[in-house]
Amino acid sequence: MENDIISYLNLDSNLKKITGKVLSSERITPGDAVELFLTGHLGLLAVLADIVKQRNTGNRVFFNHNFHIEPTNICINHCKFCSYRRHKGEEGAWECSIDEIVKKVSEHAASGANEVHIVGGVYPGRDIYYYSDMIRAVKQKEPQLHIKAFTAVEIDYMCKIAGVSIKEGLKELKDAGLESMPGGGAEIFDETLRAKICPDKTSSEKWLEIHAAAHSMGIPTNATMLYGLIEDYNHRADHLDRLRNLQDQTNGFNAFIPLKFRNGNNAFSDIRETTLIEDLKNYAVSRIFLDNIPHLKAYWPMIGKQAARLALEFGVDDLDGTIDNSTRIYTMAGSDENPSASREELVQMIREMNRIPVERDSVYNVLATF
């Protein structure tokens, strides 16, 4: 069968070798990933990515009933690609008290959601104890909710301000009710690029260190990569390789989420956004390369529901969740997608692509199959 597929696709020698690796469950190299980005046509990438996806999760596609809380968009960092950040007192800035956050959580929880996703700006002066109080208040009010909260960038700052180690800070948050972490703040790991796009942000080494610490403490996390800005395929392959290496050590990543650069209202607005073809290629190569991270997520508020549907043919097995119109990060960057979807809409999106819709909890336990 392997030779039949390779012959049918009429591949050159490099692509034949890479295809043979994937078909025989052999790990591809960063150089192979670059080759796939450069010369792999969409049909081949779709076939190979779906083979890897089928090994991991079969024909199932997951989603959950979730919502976001964004405590503030006031931030000490100066990421040049960000359309979300504001100074304190600037028009468009917001900050919520813990009481206001708890009220918002209860309003969304009434719809039957099972996860709250809490991320926001790195607010000046707020330490780990402020945020553990926040988590504790949310958990006390809505104990049934799984709390997925705070990027490594937020946690890095919280711990520095409090004068505690990363592990001490994570223990404080976990004891308060933190159950998992999102993958934001990774951006692109190459430090030369980070100096150009997010010069004062947590380093790539520190981001990886914080996620490794979380994994060692039984806190699962996600991982992300910002793409479509000023990176090249070598930078993407290096980023994926660092994630795969850490996963080999810890097995703590649940899902990988490629995050598309959106050019609205930021310092890189002159850069054209990636095409749909490039988006699909990126999903496929990510799925093929990250053979040890079980899930690949298409974050539909970022790329749109139509593109998310198509991504299911390129290795994606997760559509995130209902969101409940509760995030402004991508709408402020130019996304025209209304960030809300019903359970029925997500089920229909998945069925339209001849996949099996599965509602999950935050750590991929199956709640219902449709």
Cα separation, 145 vs 81, in Å, equals 32
* Model pLDDT for residues 4-59, shown as the tens digit of each residue: 555 556 677 899 999 999 999 999 999 999 999 999 999 999 999 999 999 999 99
**pLDDT (average), residues 71-90:** 80
Exposure b/e, 4-28, CB count within 10 A at least 16 = b: ebbeeeebeeebeebbebbbeeeeb
Mean pLDDT of 258-274: 88
Q: Which of 20, 77, 68 is nearest to 44 (CA)?
A: 20
pLDDT at 4: 59
Q: Residue 62: enclosing H or E segment and its boundaries?
A: strand 60-64
Is 70 within 8 Å of 328 (Cβ atoms)? yes
Q: Give the residue-averaged pLDDT of 299-326.
A: 89
Q: What is the structure's pLDDT at 73?
A: 86
Which residues make Cβ contacts (< 8 Å) with residue 365, sequence separation at least 6? none
Torsion on CA atoms 65, 295, 225, 240, rounded to nearest 10? 170
Please give the order of strands across the beta sheet that includes 146-149.
Answer: 66-69, 115-118, 146-149
Q: What confidence score (pLDDT) does residue 207 get?
A: 98
d(CA 342, CA 323): 9
Nearest to 111 by CA among 324, 341, 301, 348: 324
Range list of H helices, the chain: 2-9, 13-23, 30-39, 42-57, 98-109, 128-141, 152-162, 166-176, 191-197, 204-216, 233-250, 276-289, 300-303, 305-311, 343-352
pLDDT at position 333 is 39
- Residue 334, pLDDT > 60, answer no
Rounded CA separation 177/189 (Å): 29
More confident residue, 352 or 12: 352
Asked if pLDDT for residue 90 goes beyond 80, the answer is no
Pick the closest to residue 222 from 248, 201, 242, 247 (CA basis): 247
Q: Is the pLDDT of residue 328 over 50?
A: no
- Percent of the chain at pLDDT > 70 equals 93
Q: Has residue 178 got a pLDDT over 80? A: yes
- pLDDT of 6 reads 57
pTM equals 0.93
pLDDT band of 91, cuts 50, 70, 90? confident
Helix 233-250 × helix 30-39 angle, to 10°: 140
The whole-number average pLDDT for the span 125-143 is: 96
Quote the CA–CA distance of 196 and 230 in Å, as a whole number.
9
pLDDT at residue 341 is higher than 90: no
Q: What is the mean pLDDT of residues 85-103?
A: 85
How much is the pLDDT for 325?
55
One-letter amino acid at 346 equals L
At 330 the pLDDT is 40
User: Which position has the token pair 């926040």?
Assistant: 134
Contact 61, 40 (CB under 8 A): no
Q: What's the CA gap between 118 and 177, in Å, rounded?
A: 12
pLDDT at 248: 98
CATH number attached to the domain at 51-369: 3.20.20.70
Rg (CA), the chain: 20
Q: What confidence score (pLDDT) does residue 87 get?
A: 72
Residue-level pLDDT at 342: 87
Starting at the earlier edge strand, list the strands of the sheet with 366-369.
318-321, 60-64, 356-360, 366-369
What is the average per-residue pLDDT within 216-242? 97
User: Which tops the pLDDT comparison, 242 or 1?
Assistant: 242
Span 61-79, pLDDT tens digits: 999 999 999 999 898 878 8
Task: Kindly report the average pLDDT of the chain as a whole number.
Answer: 91
- Give pLDDT tens digits for 189-212: 999 999 999 999 999 999 999 999
Which residues does 173 contact at the CB level (< 8 Å), separation at least 6?
128, 131, 132, 135, 149, 150, 155
